[in-house]
A = this chain, B = another copy of it.
C-alpha cells in the first residue's frame, strides 16, 4: 500500500481518469490507491479490448469476485443479526439482498450509470438488463483488489447495505412458503394438507411439529413456536423437496 501511494503521487492522470477518481471518492469515501482495477470494473464486455492471447479484459472477472465478496459480507451480517433464524431464512433474505433487481437499484442510487462504459449501439432490450448491478459487483471486486477484504467489507456494510436497504421491508415481503405450496398444488391438481403431529413441552415454551402431505403422501415436517410457524417451516421444506421456485 505504501508503494501504491507513492505511485499515485507521481502518476499523471488523463481527464477521464480524474473523473473516475472523483466518482470513486464519492462512492467509497476515499481515493483509490491503485486505479487499475477500477478502470477495468467500469468496462463492460461490449467495449472490452483484447489485451493478451485472445483474452478480453472486461469487468466480468471482477464481477465474479465482487459477487463472492457480497455473498460473504451479507452472509456474516445476517448470521450475526439473526442468531435464532435458520439457514433457510438466512439464504432467502441474502438472495433478496443480492438479487439482480436490488443491485441494479442500488447501483443507480450510488451513481454507477455515470461511470460505466459500454457500447450503446449494441444495446438490445435484454443484454443490458443487469448492466448497472453487474458493474456494482465489479466495483466491489475492484475495492477488494485495491484495499483488501476488511475495507471492502466496510464499504458493503456502510455504503450499500445500511443506507440502501430496508431489511424490515425485505422480511415483510419475503415469500410466504405456504401460499407458494398451495398455489403449486392447485396448478397440478393436487391436495395439500397440514397436520399437527406433536406438541413438545419445553418448560418455558412449547414447540409444535407440523407435517405437510400432498395427496396423502407425507412430504415434509416443520417445527416452530406456534402452529403457524411450524406450518411455514414445513411448507419451506416441502418447496425445496418438490423443487417449487
Interface residues of A in 60-87 (CB under 8 A from B): 60-61, 63-65, 67-69, 71-72, 75-76, 79, 84-87
* Contact A72 B61, CB 8 Å, known A52-B84, A84-B53: no
Interface residues of A in 131-160 (CB under 8 A from B): 141, 144, 149-150, 153
A68 touches B65 (CB 8 A): no
State A155–B55 Cα separation when bound (angstroms): 32
State A61–B80 Cα separation when bound (angstroms): 10
B84 touches A64 (CB 8 A): no
B86 touches A54 (CB 8 A): no
A87 touches B64 (CB 8 A): yes
> Is A113's CB within 8 Å of the partner chain B?
no
Q: How far is the CB of A119 from chain B (nearest CB, A)?
A: 15
Chain B residue contacts of A63, Cβ below 8 A: 87
Question: 12 extra interchain contacts, Cβ-Cβ under 8 A, other than A60-B87, A65-B79?
Answer: A50-B202, A50-B223, A52-B84, A53-B205, A53-B207, A53-B225, A55-B86, A60-B86, A61-B85, A64-B87, A71-B72, A79-B141
